[in-house]
Amino acid sequence: MSEKQKLLKELPSVDEILKSNDGVKWCRTYPRKYVLQAIRDVIDMRRKGIMEASSTNVSVEGMSGEIKMKIEKLSAFGLKPVINATGIVIHTNLGRSVLSEKILDNVRKIAESYSNLEYNLEAGRRGKRYSHITGILREITGAEDALIVNNNAAAVLLCLSALAKGREVIVSRGELVEIGGSFRVPDIMLLSGAVLREVGTTNKTHLQDYKNAINENTALILKVHQSNYRISGFTEEVPVADLKKLSEKYRIPIMYDLGSGCMIDLKPYGIHSEPAVQSIVESGVDVVTFSGDKLLGGPQGGVIVGRKEYIEKLQKNPLTRAIRIDKLTLAAFEATLMEYLDEDKAAENIPTLKMLLQRPERIKERAKKIALLLKRKVKAAKIEITKDASKSGGGSLPEMEFPTYAVSISPDNISVNDLEERLRKGAPAIVARVKDNALLLDARTIREDEIGSLVQGIYAALY
C-alpha cells in the first residue's frame, strides 16, 4: 500500500469525529447542522491534502482545532457588536443610540418575566400598553398626551393618515427633502392617503404662501425640521409662532416633525439649531413627532406628543395597532425617559448625550490612553494623537462640528486602506475613518471598556 493510500485509510469518518469527546461537546453547544458541515469540510480538505502530498496529520485530535474554528465561523451571529471609532455618535448604520446599563437592566427585567404590559393591576382588568409612558412624557414635555410607535417614520405616517386622509396637508417646499436615504415626506404623504399641498420655494416660504393655500379641504399644516441638511444663504422660513396664529385663525391643526427630538436645552452647550421638544410644545404646536434613538438616546421608536383630542384620534386608528412597540422597547423607553426628569442627569447618564457633549479634554485623555497602550504593543506603525472634529450623525445637527481627539495610525508594512479593511472584518469589528493617509480612531465614541479589545484588534490586524 502506498503512503497516500495508508493515510486515506486512516482518515477518520464523520461519525468517528462526531462520537469523539470533542464531537459530543460541539453538538451540545452548536447547531448539529454546522458541526456536521465543518467536520465534512475539514475531512475533504485533508483528503485533498493527502492527494497533493501535503497533509499528514489525520488524527481526530489533529483536526479538531480546525473543525472548531469552522464551527465557530458558521454559527457566529450575523448581528454583532462593533467598535465605533468614527466619532459619529448617532451613526444610523451602526445602530444609532447605545443604551446604558441601567436601561438594559430594566429591559432584562421586563423580558424575563411576565408584566402588567396591558393589565391594570389596580382595577384587575385589561389595561393600556401606552399608559406606562404617557405620564412621564406629559411631565417632561408639557404636552397633554403622548403615544409611542415603532419609529418616527411610522409616527408621521400615522398622524397624516389619522388626521388628514383624503384631505390636504400644507408643507413648505424647503422642507420636502429626503432624510436618511429613505424618509421622503411626499412618499409618506402618498402612503397615508393625505394630499400634499406644496407652498413656497426651496429657499423661501412666507406666511402668505401658507395662507393662500388654505381652503375648506385643508386638514393640517405640517412643518418638517431640517434634520440632516441646511439650506443656507438667502433663505426664509416661517416661524412656528406665526404659523400658530394662522392655525388658530383658520382652526387648522399644526404638526411638527422634529426628527431628532432633543429633550434637553442644548444652548448652554453652544448648540442653537436644535429646538427642545418642550419649547415646541409650549409654542402651541398641536402634534409633535420625533425619533426615540436620535438625540433622545433611547431605543428605536417614534414619539408623538400633543393635544389630547388628536392623540386620542391616533390611538383609535387601526394603523396604531400595526406599528405598535413591543414591551422591550417600552421598558427601554420608560427607563430612558426617567433620566430626563433632571436635565443634568440626562446629559450624564444617556450615552448619546454624554458622548456628544463630552468635553474635548476628556476625549483627549481617552485618546492618550489608547495611544499609550498601542505604542507599547505595536512597533510597525506611527502612532500619534491628533485634533479633529466629529459629527453628530443620524440626521441631527448637520452643521455642527464637535472638537475631538483621535489616535492616528500610519502603518509601516501595509496600506492604510488595508488596515481599515482588516479592522472592519476583524473580531471584534472596528469601524474607523481614513484621513490624510492615516487611520483615525476618534476617541469620542470609543467606550472605556472597549479599549482593551480595540488595542488587541489593531495589533492582530497589523501582524
Ligand X SMILES: *Cc1c(COP(=O)(O)O)cnc(C)c1O
Residues at the site binding ligand X, with contacts judged by CB under 6 A? 151-153, 179-180, 183, 224-225, 227, 257, 259-260, 291, 302, 395
In whole angstroms, the minimum distance from the beta carbon of 146 to ligand X comes to 16
In whole angstroms, the minimum distance from the beta carbon of 242 to ligand X comes to 20
Angle at which helix 32-51 crosses helix 60-74, to 10 degrees, equals 130
In whole angstroms, the minimum distance from the beta carbon of 196 to ligand X comes to 15
In whole angstroms, the minimum distance from the beta carbon of 119 to ligand X comes to 29
Which is nearer to ligand X, 254 or 383 (by Cβ)?
Answer: 254
CB neighbours (10 Å) of residue 136? 17
Element (H, E) at 20: none
DSSP 8-state symbol, 200: S
Q: Among positive and negative, which fits the CA dihedral 229, 232, 235, 236?
A: positive
In whole angstroms, the minimum distance from the beta carbon of 298 to ligand X comes to 11
Which is nearer to ligand X, 235 or 453 (by Cβ)?
Answer: 235
Distances (CA, A) of 113 to 100, 106, 149, 306, 328: 20, 11, 23, 32, 11
Which is nearer to ligand X, 228 or 349 (by Cβ)?
Answer: 228
Which is nearer to ligand X, 152 or 392 (by Cβ)?
Answer: 152
Cell 505604542 locates to: 375
Q: What are phi and psi of 218, to 5 degrees?
A: -80, 130
b (16+ CB within 10 A) / e for 38-49: bbeebbeebeeb
Residues 6+ apart with CB under 8 A from 413: 380, 462
CB neighbours (10 Å) of residue 343? 16
Cell 389619522 locates to: 162
Element (H, E) at 339: helix 327-339
DSSP 8-state symbol, 92: G
Q: What are phi and psi of 59, to 5 degrees?
A: -80, 155
In whole angstroms, the minimum distance from the beta carbon of 96 to ligand X comes to 8
DSSP 8-state symbol, 98: P
Which is nearer to ligand X, 41 or 187 (by Cβ)?
Answer: 187
Cell 411638527 locates to: 256
Which is nearer to ligand X, 224 or 252 (by Cβ)?
Answer: 224
Cα(98)–Cα(394) distance, rounded to whole angstroms? 13
Which is nearer to ligand X, 46 or 225 (by Cβ)?
Answer: 225
Which is nearer to ligand X, 180 or 351 (by Cβ)?
Answer: 180
Q: What are phi and psi of 22, to 5 degrees?
A: -60, -45
Cα(403)–Cα(376) distance, rounded to whole angstroms? 27
3-state secondary structure of 263: coil
Q: In sequence order, what DSSP letters do the residues of 210-231 get, joined into one string?
A: HHHH--TTEEEEEEE---S---
Which is nearer to ligand X, 171 or 224 (by Cβ)?
Answer: 224
**Residue with the shortest CB distance to ligand X:** 259
Q: What are phi and psi of 56, to 5 degrees?
A: -130, -30
Q: What are phi and psi of 175, to 5 degrees?
A: -115, 10
Which is nearer to ligand X, 180 or 284 (by Cβ)?
Answer: 180
Which is nearer to ligand X, 67 or 288 (by Cβ)?
Answer: 288
In whole angstroms, the minimum distance from the beta carbon of 222 to ligand X comes to 11
In whole angstroms, the minimum distance from the beta carbon of 294 to ligand X comes to 6
In whole angstroms, the minimum distance from the beta carbon of 274 to ligand X comes to 11
In whole angstroms, the minimum distance from the beta carbon of 455 to ligand X comes to 34
In whole angstroms, the minimum distance from the beta carbon of 226 to ligand X comes to 8
Q: Which amino acid is at 209?
A: D
